[in-house]
Copies of this chain bind each other. A is one copy, B any other.
Amino acid sequence: MGPTGDANDHGLLTAAETSLLVDQYELAMAASYHRQGMNEPAAFELFARRLPANRDWLLVAGLGPTLRLVTEMRFGARELEYLGTIGFRAEFLDYLADFRFAGDIDALPEGTLAFANEPLVRVTAPRIEAQLLETLLLNQVNFQTMLASKTARILLAAGEGEPDRGGGVVDFSPRRDHGTDAAMKAARSAAIAGAAGTSNVAAAMRYGLAPVGTMAHSYVMSFASEEEAFRKFMRDTPENAVMLVDTYDTLEGVRRAISASRATGVRLKGVRLDSGDILELSRKTRALLDEAGMSETTIVASGDLEEDQISRCVAAGAPVDLWGVGTDLGTSRDSPTVNGVYKLVADRGADGHWRGVIKQSAAKATMPGRKQVFRRYDEGGVMAGDVVALAEEECEGRPLLVPAMRGGDVVHTESLAEMRERAANELRSLPRELTLPGERDRTAYRVEWSEHLRDAAEEATAVAGVGAASGARG
């Protein structure tokens, strides 16, 4: 394919090609900085100014794949040829041809809880390099954090406010995810939050997750009778004999699954309820299974499930072992955006000193300086409050951002098990008011600015105030 467009291209990018998954203005600014030799170190931070609607916290996800992408970003010959056709000059293209990100990244490890105005990622690098990461970092971290947060809420709903109690949750979202990359990252983000597996086989393979699946209605309908379908599936897939029982009549389907299990001698591993009143049907199903001596057979529920519905079912004692959630997990329908932004917070002047940078647009102020977040806990291990401070400060509490990349090399690599364990610990340490669905006391968790940071902001505001009058910045 040449650099000109093909309306029917599959649209998939390689890791190297994500170099052009960049807003045009990043390149325009970078080209201007390059012409002017403005490539001194600068620091940018990725954070959300406000928590999303219906959210009291974020569960951070996406760092690992994002770091990998950053190390693999390259401007190849086709990309450079295209950039030449849209007006970028040869000297800048030469710079891009050699581009490798060689800066530093600090970040919240995946599975950390975060709040508004807390940096999730901080990039310190020559200005052009830091600028060129903006779109990719936001494109990856925003939605993965959204999906991990949503999955954590579903797990809390399934466990009556405790992440590791109650039924498990499985990602059934690929059909509602936004394309291939979203499906891969939805499964991964859900796993970090504590999901028990995914229906997405590609994600199970890449990320070492448990692949989960049963059968569709079309399978049942492809045989002369429901019971014949169950028998055939049991004989062909004896190790995964989970029967979808609601194609015709749910409780009749349960009886036929029991009967097929007896006829084939294959242990009925589970039944899946995909429609109807899950509370009532799960109770009656449990009774039928227990009567048949199949108390080990699990009940899987699915079918456009949402956290509130799961929470109500669990509170009423629905004997569901596994919740398969698709649309709401994959699109976070009740809160479908995380508005993370990526802002310049400091740069190093000709004098070699770092200077905090402040933005003053109405309602979009940015606190200056490179930051760290310190988290305190009470005696019971419950989170007691965060302080956002300057990176060089020493505050009470546990510092949350860790070195993730140094000089372009990844220095923070964790297993999925480590991320999951962190997420579980974080969710267990949440104040109880923030773990329950429905109305919450949004003042329950305090995030404060450190005194030094407030001083720095005042100073920068005073300087920028002068600047605003003359258009100058200090």
Contact = CB atoms under 8 A, between A and B. Distances in A.
Interface in A1-38: 3-15, 17-18, 20-29, 31-33, 35-36, 38
A20 to B, nearest CB: 4
B472 A224 contact: yes
Contacts of A364: 275
A232 interface: yes
Contacts of A83: 201
A416 B7 contact: yes
Given A7-B416, A24-B213, A225 B15 contact: no
A247 interface: yes
Contacts of A221: 344, 357-359, 473
A364 B414 CA distance: 43
A327 to B, nearest CB: 5
Given A18-B180, A174-B135, A473-B224, A215 B67 contact: no
Nearest to A418: B7
Given A199-B23, A222-B127, A13 B13 contact: no
A261 interface: no
A344 to B, nearest CB: 4
Nearest to A276: B362
A380 interface: no
B13 A202 contact: yes
Nearest to A33: B222
Interface residues of A, number: 145
Interface in A338-397: 339-340, 342-344, 347, 357-364
A471 interface: yes
B176 A5 contact: no
Contacts of A87: 237, 239-240
Interface stretch (A137-145, A284-292, A313-321, A432-440): A137-145
Given A181-B182, A218-B343, A226-B472, 4 more contacts: A21-B202, A23-B174, A32-B219, A327-B339
Interface of A: 3-15, 17-18, 20-29, 31-33, 35-36, 38, 42, 44, 64-65, 67-69, 72, 79, 82-83, 86-87, 127, 131, 134-135, 138-140, 142-143, 172, 174-186, 188, 199-209, 211-219, 221-228, 232-233, 236-237, 239-240, 246-249, 252, 256, 274-276, 304, 327, 331-333, 336-337, 339-340, 342-344, 347, 357-364, 410, 413-416, 419, 464, 467-468, 470-473
6 contacts: A22-B201, A24-B204, A138-B175, A225-B467, A252-B471, A327-B339
